[in-house]
Structure 1
Amino acid sequence: MANHMQFGFQDASSPIMEELVEFHDHALMTALAICTLVLYLLTFMLTEKLTSSTFDAQEIELVWTILPAAVLIMLALPSLQILYMMDEVNEPDLTLKAIGHQWYWTYEYTDFKDLTFDSYMTPTADLPLGHFRLLEVDHRAVVPMDSLIRVIVTADDVLHSWAVPSLGVKTDAIPGRLNQTSFTATRPGVFYGQCSEICGANHSFMPIVVESAPLADFESWSSLLSS
C-alpha cells in the first residue's frame, strides 16, 4: 500500500510490476536526454551567430532522421517485451474469476474447490482499527504466493476494471466478454486496488483486496471457507 505522501509507484510485488517500473525509469531518462539536447540546441541558437559553416545541412538531416528512429527503437523493444510477458499465460497454478457488479466483486475459484463469494467494501462504521477506509473489504481474494495466478475478468451489468497497481494488473471487465490477465505475487502481503472504470454513482466504493499467503495458509483459508 502506498504512503499518502508517496510520489512514485507502489512497491512492486510481482515480476511484471518490476518490469513496468524499470521501463518507466528507462523512458523517463530517455525523455530527459531529449529535453536536455533540445534545450542545449535552443540555447546555442539564441546565443551564437549561426553561419553556413556551423552546421552542414546534410549532416543535420542525417542526425534528425537517425536519432528519432534510434529513440523509438529504444522505447519500442522493452515495451513489446513487457506486453508479451503480460499476455503470456502458460499452465497457471490457479485460476481466479473476478466478476464486477454495481458495486461489488464476485470471486470464483473454479478449478479449486469451486469456491464462490462476494466482496463488498467494509463500511466506515464497521472498519477495524488500523484498516484503510474505502479500501478494505469483508472478503479478500486470497492467493498463494510464488504461484502463477490467471485472472479471468468480466462484468454482470456495466463496464468495470479490475486493477491492483502493486501487482501490475489492470484489466477491463466487460459484460458478455472474458478478459484475461495474470500475476505472480513474490511476497506475502495485502495488496489494494479499486475499480478503475467509472461505473456509476458508487464507483469509488468498489475496492479490490488481494491477499498473498504461503501455500499452507491458502489451503487452510480455502478449507475454512468451503466448510
Structure 2
Amino acid sequence: MALAGGATSALAQTTGQPMHWQMGLQAPVTPIADAIHWFHDVLVNPIIIGIAAFVLVLMIYVMYKFSEKRNPTPSSTTHNQLLEVAWTVIPVLILLVIAVPSFKLLYAQYDYPKPDLTIKATGNQWNWTHSYPDHGNFSFTSVMLNDQERQALIAKGIPAPRLLAVNNEVFVPVNKVVHVLVTASDVIHNWTIPSFGSKVDAVPGRITATWFKARKEGVYYGQCSELCGKDHAFMPIAVRVVNDAVFNEWVAAVKARDRNKVREIQERTALAQAGAKVADAASR
C-alpha cells in the first residue's frame, strides 16, 4: 500500500489532478497545501492509526483473557479511579496536540500576504467566470470541454482529462502570491483546487477569499465542491501556472480580445508543459 501510494503521489505531482487508484491527497504545490499534507500525513493519521491499533489489541486481549472459559467468575469491580482519570486526561492531551497545529494552519489560510495578483471567481449554474481587476478587469467564462473538443486537443498531444479540461484556463504566474475573491451569481458553489490547498464557498451577494502561491509550473485542476444543481459535476476549474513572460503575453492577448492568439498560447503552453512533465517522469 505504501509503494502504491508513493507511485500515485509521483503521478499526481506531474499532473495536478486525481489519478486512478490514488491513495492520499493530491501532491501539494503551495505552502498551505504543504502544511495540510503535514497535518494529515505526519500528525493526524499516525494518531488515528495508533488509537485504532491500540483498541484492536485491547479488544483481542479482553476477548481472550476474560472469556467465559478462562474467567468463569467475573470480577465485581465497578470503578477504577486511576483508569478513569487516564481515559479522560489522555484524550484531552491528544486533542490538544492536534488543536495547536490545527489552529496555526487555519490562521495561515486566512492570513493573506500582500498579493502580486488578484482574481475574482464567480460561480454560475454551471460554469465559472474569472476576472482580473489588476489588469483592466477583463473576464472570461470557463466551460467544460465536451468529448469531441477533448479528442481534438488529445490528437495534438495536449492532455485534456475528462470532466476537468476547460475551454478557457486561468493563467497565473509561478511563485507569485495570488488572491482569489470568490462569489456566486445564483446559488452556493465552491472554488476548490486540491493541489493548492484552496477551498472556499462562493456565496451569492457575498465575497469570500482564498490565496495561493504555486511554486511549480503546470496545470492544476479543481471542481465545484458544493452541491449546486443538476450539472454540479460539470463545472471544473483549470489553473495554468506559467512563467512571467508567458503570463504577460497571455494577458496582452486577452486584453486585445485576440481569441486565436489566446488559444495558441494556451495550446502551446500546454504542449510544452506536457513535454516537460514526460521528460521529468522519465528522468526519475
CA apart distance, 1:92: 1.2
Structure 1, unaligned runs of 5 or more: none
Contact map agreement 1:124 1:134 (CA 8 A) in 2: no
How far 1:213 sits from its partner (Å)? 0.8
Matches within 5 A, 1:33-52: 33-48=50-65
Q: TM-score, normalized by length of structure 1? A: 0.92
Q: Which residue of 2 aligns with 1:20?
A: 36
Q: Higher helix proportion, which one?
A: 2
Amino acid at match of 1:80: F
Give the CA RMSD over aligned residues. 1.9
Contact 1:94 1:112 in 2 (8 A): no
Partner in structure 1 of residue 20 of structure 2: 4
Q: How many residues align?
A: 225
- The one of 113, 123, 142 equivalent to 2:146 is 123
**Of 47, 53, 58, which aligns to 2:81?**
58
Letter in 1 for 2:129: T
> Which moves more between the two structures, 147-156 or 124-133?
124-133
**Residue 24 (structure 1) shift:** 1.0
Q: CA-to-partner distance for each residue in 1:143-162, whole Å, 9 max, x for gaps?
A: 11111111110000111111
Give the one of 224, 229, 242 matched to 1:213.
242
Higher relative CO (Cα under 8 Å, sequence separation at least 6) belongs to 1
Question: Deviations for 1:34-79, whole angstroms, at most 9, x for unmatched residues?
Answer: 1222223323333336998x9x923212311221111101111111
Q: What does residue range 92-107 of structure 1 map to in structure 2 within 5 Å?
A: 92-107=115-130
My pick for the range that moved more, 5-14 or 140-149, is: 5-14
Of 194-203 and 92-101, deviating more is: 194-203
Is the aligned partner of 1:176 residue 2:205? yes
Question: Normalised by the size of structure 2, how large is the TM-score?
Answer: 0.75
Greater strand content: 1
How far residue 30 of structure 1 moved from its aligned partner, in angstroms, is: 0.2
Q: CA deviation at 1:96?
A: 0.6
Contact 1:161 1:173 in 2 (8 A): yes
The code of the aligned residue for 1:203 comes to H
Aligned-pair identity (%): 39
AA at the equivalent of 1:157? D
